[in-house]
Copies of this chain bind each other. A is one copy, B any other.
Amino acid sequence: MNAELTFRLANEQDLDEIVAMLADDVLGRTRERYEQPLPVTYLNAFQAISADANNELVVACLGEKVVGVQQITFAPYITHQGGWRATIEGVRTLSSERGKGIGTELIRWAIGRAKERGCHAVQLTTDKKREDALRFYEGLGFKATHEGMKLKL
């Protein structure tokens, strides 16, 4: 399977499938709005991401079919001797394609991309309700050394 899996930057035509994946999720269904037409806020975010050299919305494809998505943000931080870090967000695999290792390949791809960009670390936060996700990321070498704190405005 993995031989056919390819990665590329998302384009605007992928947006419908991306939002469908985000909404088809135990937490996503409470906070996303997958409907036709798609809320314009998704297009606005897509355009802001595309215009920003430090943000990449990446899709995984099996042939032509979009089967996974993730967003990677690169940031220069003054801490850690002025090191760049990559933050991964919004990792999802198409529900019909789960269990095939696509999530693992997405994260491995993000790690490789972070190295290319000269980052000294990759980071992410995962909701404490997602116990499987915690184990998944630990299996890929991530350490849950930090509390991920959020304040809604």
Contacts and interface: CB of A to CB of B under 8 A. Distances in A.
B151 A125 contact: no
Main secondary structure of the interface of A (DSSP, over half): mixed
Contacts of A121: 150-153
A104 interface: no
Interface of A: 18-19, 22, 28, 31-33, 39, 41-46, 48-49, 52, 54-55, 57, 69, 71, 73, 75-84, 87, 89-90, 111, 114-115, 119-128, 134, 137-138, 140-153
Copies in the complex: 2
A96 B146 CA distance: 27
B52 A54 contact: yes
Nearest to A33: B81
